Amino acid sequence: MENSEDEAGEDDTEWKNIFTDPTPGSDDNMIPTPAHRVIVHFDLDCFYAQVEMIRNPALKNVPLGIQQKNIVVTCNYVAREQGVTKLMFVTDAMEKCPQLVLVKGEDLTHYREMSYKVTELLMSYCPLVERLGFDENFMDITEMVERRLTQTHESHSYSFKGHVYNHINTDDTTGKHPRLALGSHVAAEVREAIHSKLGLTGCAGIATNKLLAKLVSGTFKPNQQTTLLPEDVSNIVSCLSSLRKVPGVGHQTAKRLQALGLVSVSDLQLFSLAELVREFGSPSAQRLKNLALGVDDSPVTPTGAPQSLSDEDSFKKISSTKDVLEKIQELLKSLLERMHKDGRQPQTFRLTIRRYSATNKWFSRESRQCPIPNHIGQKITSGSTDSALVQLLPLAMKLFHKMVDITAAFHLTLINVCFSNLHSRAAATGKCSITSFFSHSTSPRKSQSYSSQSQDDFSQSGGGQSMDHQSSPHSITQRTVASKNVSASEAVLHGFTRKQSPAVTVGVSHLQKPSCSVVRLNPDETCNIAMSQLPPNVDPEVFKVLPEEIQKELLSPAYSNSLSSFLPGKNTSPQCPSPSNPLPQTFTNSQNLNRKDAVDELDSSDRPTTWNPPLQPLGTSTAIHGEDSMTEEELSFPRSSDCEFPVNVDPKVFSELPPDVQKELMSEWKQHKPVLKAPSSKKPGRNSVTKDKKTGGQGSQANSLLKYFKPS
């Protein structure tokens, strides 16, 4: 029988050679006790609601829900007492709790920042911290515990902090599981630190692997912790009401298991491994079986800086190219600012859409991605986000056209823009080399102190995203988008957008906006312009769809001028300098990380090895050498001048862009022409850097991570 493993704990054989018994003589237990890992799972209580209650303490005593679109994604415990649950429709939630106060939570900025502060705090105790979403972290505290074990002389202190699963009276547990007991103390200290330094409460689960730590952490729900002893593993695992509750068993896997007749955890425990292998293949089958047994040897993998940054929005309907363009522009704008703050240079851009479908309304996203030309990537990292936006828009529209045939009707319900393949420029050679301070002469990063109570917002021009909170819970306020001083190109882009978002709803309200529906243009708006006047390269089908003012501009002398700027001898006006795009406050300065409390008991060897002193990451590669990141798919420029566009620039896409964007693009192309080389050479192998994403490059990754942490 293959399920005859010892159920009282995980299979320890693989750990014997990794964690040898540190104190052979002091182990009073003659039974060979495995050198167990000690894993903690931290889970913040209703995280978004807690963040909002910190931002606006007036919300602390009211039933509070965090709203995204038509959904209450989470709520505080006051609201839960009245029947509100996570992921409940707003209408249902209001029925349950008419006094429910809702705060918009579509903009994740504050949650993301607080989330990384929590991770940072955990990392100050030990480097093995793995994030799971914004509100959960795993920590492998095995080494901390082993160290405390050697330093603790009194066995009477091997008692537990907090709950012990299945043990009402914890007296009978004292002394029997010193590592887990010490783990519970560590967890309690860390939770207290999270509370005192960040003002957040949460649960913790302490166990011998990630699976069990996660399963046990929610046993006592708000703001408590629970330790799981090995003798209760089978208990907790078989108490799960369905296989779906097993982390790692998702909807699809649960369905496939059900097709095999398996619904409960014990069904899976007892099921033939051979048959499981037939369904899932060997690795997955083994993993599933192990999960059902509470066995999980997966390591706590330090998460480090994120592998991708994305920004998305869902909506009832987008069905015109113009609206697609506007939405992508809006998303890209905020994504570019985030990317710039990150400091790394993205090598890949991806556009994802979700199409409406009556059946299968959820599900089914499609995406296309492309490399980001180096010169654009450098714009991003250097902070020329306006210019980067203007240059990324055509790329995005190209990707869009790869997915959507605009000659037929289409109906999108979601758009996502994503940067991935993020490259640090930090030199991996020397550790904290001063030389890496060489930087572009671009604006020095502000290392202003960051006030967590700052009301400052980013003036997100995109509609619908409100970052403010409101002092009075029941008031409704609206304001128009503040128009800041913007570059010329931004002005056009804003004008392009204006119709759609006349105002941003701000603040807290239990009354809902009528809807988030997209304002449609009058269909006859565009009728009166003679198509025969269209400039060359403008597709009439696309033209028809553009806003009137854009159409007029396309037909105006200004447009001809910009076209003719391609001709030899004529110069386009240079790009607007725009020195003053007010950047949101950065939170780059992490020098004053307060780690003293955490370090008090650690010797220097405990310092996280992946944690490097913060370096100014601004070193911009100074040379644009001939080898850039372009592939055969990239823009390239024919020497022969019988075509106005670089090859691979779709005239259709180009014509869809606002005139100012077109101008800036053409100006860019002119500037880059001499640098670019013929597209012939397919990149030779590039030394195959063997992207070992996590384990390798830790130094640079840790460096980047700091961007996600605010200075305290």
Partner DNA sequence: CGGGGGTTTT
Partner DNA sequence: AAAACCC
Identify the DSSP state of 303. Answer: -
Quick one: 128 exposed, middle or buried, by C-beta within 10 A (0-12, 13-18, 19+)?
A: buried
Least distance between DNA and beta carbon 233 (Å): 19
Buried b (16+ CB within 10 A) or exposed e, 629-664: bbeeebbbbeeeeeebbbeebbebbbbbbbbbbbbb
Torsion over CA: 358, 364, 370, 376 (sign): positive
Confirm or reject binding of residue 134 to DNA (CB under 7 A): yes
Residue placing its CB nearer to DNA in the complex, 329 or 551: 329
Nearest distance, CB of residue 666 and DNA, angstroms: 27
Is residue 106 a contact point for DNA (CB under 7 A)? yes
Annotated catalytic residue within 120, 136, 656, 668: 136
Q: Tokens 């790394």 correspond to what residue? A: 344
Is the CA virtual torsion 426, 428, 431, 435 positive or negative?
A: negative
Site string for DNA, 348-367 (x = CB under 7 A): --x----------xxxxxxx
The closest alpha carbon to 681, from 609, 600, 626, belongs to: 626
Q: Return the residues of window 452-491 that contact DNA according to CB under 7 A.
A: none
**Residue 66, beta-bridge partner list:** 74, 103
Cα 684 to chain centroid distance, Å, stands at 33
What is the distance of C-alpha 61 from the center of its chain? 30
Alpha carbons 174 and 688: distance in angstroms, whole number: 54
Q: How far is CA 462 from the centre of its chain?
A: 19
Stretch near DNA under the rule CB under 7 A, chosen from 116-124, 248-256, 527-535, 620-628: 248-256
Cβ atoms of 180 and 208 within 8 Å: the answer is yes
Distance, CA of 140 to CA of 122 (rounded, Å): 10
Judged by CB under 7 A, which stretch of 2-10, 167-175, 298-306, 565-573 contacts DNA? 298-306
Among 301, 477, 565, 581, binds DNA (CB under 7 A): 301
- List binders of DNA among 672-711 (CB under 7 A): 693-694
CB of 280 to DNA, least distance (A): 7
Is residue 306 close enough to count as binding DNA by CB under 7 A? Answer: yes
Which member of 45, 52, 120, 135 binds DNA (CB under 7 A)? 135
Please check whether residue 224 is in contact with residue 163, taking contact to mean a CB–CB distance below 8 angstroms.
yes
Per-position x/- string for 14-43, each x denoting binding to DNA as judged by CB under 7 A, each - no binding = -----------------------------x
Phi and psi, residue 313, nearest 5°: -145, 140
| Residue numbers 152-211 binding DNA by CB under 7 A | none
Show contacts with DNA in window 370-409 (CB under 7 A): none
Q: How many residues bind DNA (CB under 7 A)?
A: 53
- Known catalytic residue: 2? no
Residues from 205 through 244 that contact DNA (CB under 7 A): 214
The reply to whether 6 sits near DNA by the rule CB under 7 A is no
**312 near DNA, rule: CB under 7 A:** yes
Per-residue contact string for residues 110-129; x = within reach of DNA by CB under 7 A? --x-----------------
Alpha helices (H) in 307-383, listed in sequence order: 321-342, 374-382
Question: Which of 110, 197, 317, 368 lies at the binding interface for DNA (CB under 7 A)?
Answer: 368
CA distance 639 to 80: 67
Sites of contact with DNA (CB under 7 A): 43, 68-71, 73, 87, 106, 108, 112, 132-136, 214, 246-254, 281, 283-284, 301, 303, 306-314, 350, 361-369, 414, 418, 693-694
Residues annotated as catalytic (active site), given as ranges: 136
